[in-house]
């Protein structure tokens, strides 16, 4: 039963149009929890085809003003195998949940990002249009459409589009299994390129919790277009406090 659910999730995600994400990051929820004032520490790694681990550690604080608006500040350090941690980016995020979950299980929100990258940039401004469907019997779908552009010195022209999508099934023990798809469509000012010049990946995912404070995520992404790269293993550990 578990493997049939896993395969069904993968097939649906591959067949669905990529209506949401970049090759990296997570497929986040649009929901805002009223009264949420919390810190989260996150560590993760990505193993790519060159057998190199890309490692990252991040800390964020989030503050929900009510059940519609939440502000979050993020700082991330990153390194590759054998290197010391370096500053990667700092980001401010404002999430607006404009549609609370309906009887059909649908919720939606907009997240506005301002990202300060290492060195002289370029930095980044972005908008994320996030959707979530909580279906019956443990199924959940998420999709995010992202538009961003450079800002500051060394900024390039044009608007970039990307997407992220996820379909998972919740087992009786709380474990979620399913599939994710990530796509980068290109820069609008250059004219969106053809499929194989865009970056599209798809793969399995699993996530769960050790306890009320510790959570984990594991997945893999396989290239389905010529311009994309395989990510053989994606691991994250979360600690909320």
- pLDDT tens for each residue of 142-184: 999 999 999 988 888 899 999 999 999 999 999 999 999 999 9
Per-residue model confidence as pLDDT tens digits over 220-233: 999 999 999 888 89
- 123: pLDDT strictly greater than 50: yes
pLDDT at 24: 57
pLDDT at 189: 84
- 101 contacts: CB under 8 Å, gap ≥ 6: 31, 107, 132, 134
pTM over 0.85: yes
* pLDDT range class, residue 49, cuts 50, 70, 90: low
Class (C level, CATH) for 2-240: mainly beta
Structure-derived torsion over alpha carbons of residues 173, 181, 71, 210, reported in degrees to the nearest 10: 20
């Amino acid at each position: 039963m578990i493997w049939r659910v896993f395969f069904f999730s993968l097939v649906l995600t591959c067949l669905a149009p990529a209506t949401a994400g970049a090759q990296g990051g997570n497929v986040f929820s649009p929901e805002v929890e009223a009264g949420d004032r919390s810190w989260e520490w996150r560590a993760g790694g990505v193993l790519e085809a060159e057998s190199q681990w890309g490692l990252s550690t991040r800390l964020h604080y989030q503050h929900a003003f009510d059940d519609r608006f939440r502000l979050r500040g993020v700082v991330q350090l990153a390194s590759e195998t054998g290197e010391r941690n370096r500053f990667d980016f700092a980001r401010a995020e404002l999430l607006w949940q404009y549609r609370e979950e309906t009887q059909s299980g649908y919720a939606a929100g907009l997240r506005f990002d301002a990202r300060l990258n290492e060195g002289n940039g370029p930095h980044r401004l972005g908008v994320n249009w996030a959707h979530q469907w909580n279906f019956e019997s443990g199924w959940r779908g998420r999709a995010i459409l992202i538009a961003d552009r450079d800002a500051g010195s060394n900024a390039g022209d044009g608007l970039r589009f990307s997407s992220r999508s996820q379909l998972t099934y919740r087992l009786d023990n709380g474990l979620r299994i399913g599939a994710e798809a990530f796509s980068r469509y290109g820069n609008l000012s250059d004219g969106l390129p053809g499929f194989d010049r865009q970056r599209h990946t798809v793969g399995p995912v699993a996530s769960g919790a050790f306890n009320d404070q510790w959570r984990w995520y594991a997945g893999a992404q396989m290239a389905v277009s010529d311009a994309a790269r395989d990510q053989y293993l994606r691991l994250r550990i979360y600690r909320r406090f």
